[in-house]
Structure 1
Amino acid sequence: MKRRTGRELAVQSLYHLEMNKVPDDRAVDAILEETMNKEEQPDPEKMTEVDAETARYVRALVRGVNENRELLDSLLVEFLKGWKMDRLSRVDRQILRLAAFELVVEAETPPKVAVNEAIELAKHFGTDESGKFVNGVLGQMIKKLDELKAKAAQEKV
């Protein structure tokens, strides 16, 4: 399983979920089906089929972000410096939510990996400025990561 592929599919699923107001499993199913039905992959290095382990990983990420969306948004808003969550591009918003989930809630992924992956996703899916923006927001979050984890744990109780 390639976790980067899983994260790419998770961001696409989260975007689909927000755009179409569907349950998280339906959003993931739609993206997985679309991915597996592509006749021509833009990058020959990419998988043409998503293995079961990757599909489970995508579902876990999407479900985790969706179930914790309010918490994640409340944590992120502190670091947006002059921005509101609803003013961000949908892509940047989903990437930041996914990274915040990995940093604060899931906490299995090393913080530097979560941030680097988010930056790469932003460069891939976002605008020319998205990578820098995501890096700035998450860089500030990492400085307060222990505090954010404690806050998240307290809010989940």
Structure 2
Amino acid sequence: MSRKTARETAMKTLFQMELNGEYDLDNVNINEEESLGEADSAYIEGLVRGVSEKLEEIDAIIEKYSKSWKLSRLPKVDLSILRIAIYEMMHIEDIPMQVSINEAIEIAKKYSTADSSKFINGLLGAYAKEMSGTDD
């Protein structure tokens, strides 16, 4: 399994958790998805657990950059994609920010709309710019 597929599985898991309104990893079976190797399961669980633990912080960032959109108005798929990308950008140092952004855009194109991929690109790009301290 590739990291892209692992991100998709994490997105589906977070989407399910969002729909259920419950971010308890004990109530989710990540291994239902395909045949996962140990490394893939660990990466997916790390993403899901990390997003769940940092949910308030991540959501505050999404609200800051989503302009006039409230989290409740964002499509749940887009919200799950954004949460994963921001978590990666904040906490996983071996993944370049641009990779997290590109992967989020590709997942949005596959599971959401063309407008969603543009919105996600703009939001993550603005956040990356702030994180890197550049204004260009």
**TM-score of the two chains, using structure 1 as the length reference:** 0.78
Return 5+ residue gaps in structure 2 as ranges.
none
Structural mapping, 1:141-152, within 5 Å: 141-146=127-132
Kept in 2, the 8 Å contact 1:92–1:122? The answer is yes
Q: Over the residues paired in the alignment, what is the CA RMSD in angstroms?
A: 1.5
Matches within 5 A, 1:19-38: 19-20=19-20, 21=22, 23-27=24-28, 29=29, 31-33=30-32, 35-36=33-34
Give the C-alpha shift of residue 77 in structure 1.
Answer: 1.2
1:96 counterpart = 2:82: yes
* Uncovered stretches (5+) of structure 1, i.e. residues with no partner: 37-48, 148-157
Give the partner amino acid of 1:26.
N
Pair 1:118 & 2:109 matched? no
Aligned length: 132
Identity value in percent: 39
| Deviation per residue, 1:21-40 (Å, 9 max, x gap) | 2512432x1x431x23xxxx
Question: Following the alignment from structure 2 to structure 1, what is the Cα–Cα distance between the partners of residues 23 and 46?
Answer: 16
Q: Which residue of 1 aligns with 2:44?
A: 58
Cα deviation code 1:103-154 (max 9, x no counterpart): 113333101100000001111111231111100111111110146xxxxxxx
Partner SS state of residue 144, structure 1:
helix
Structure 1 residue aligned with 2:18: 18
What amino acid does structure 1 have at the position aligned with 2:61? L
SS, match of residue 68 in structure 2: coil
Indicate the structure (1 or 2) with the bigger Cα radius of gyration.
1
Contact 1:9 1:32 in 2 (8 A): no
Q: Tell me how far apart the structure 1 counterparts of residues 53 and 94 of structure 2 sit (CA, whole Å).
A: 18
Q: In the alignment, what sits opposite 2:59? A: 73
From the superposition, tell whether residues 63 and 22 of structure 1 become closer, same or farther in structure 2 (CA, over 3 Å). Answer: closer
Change (3 A) 1:128 1:18: same
Partner of 1:46: none
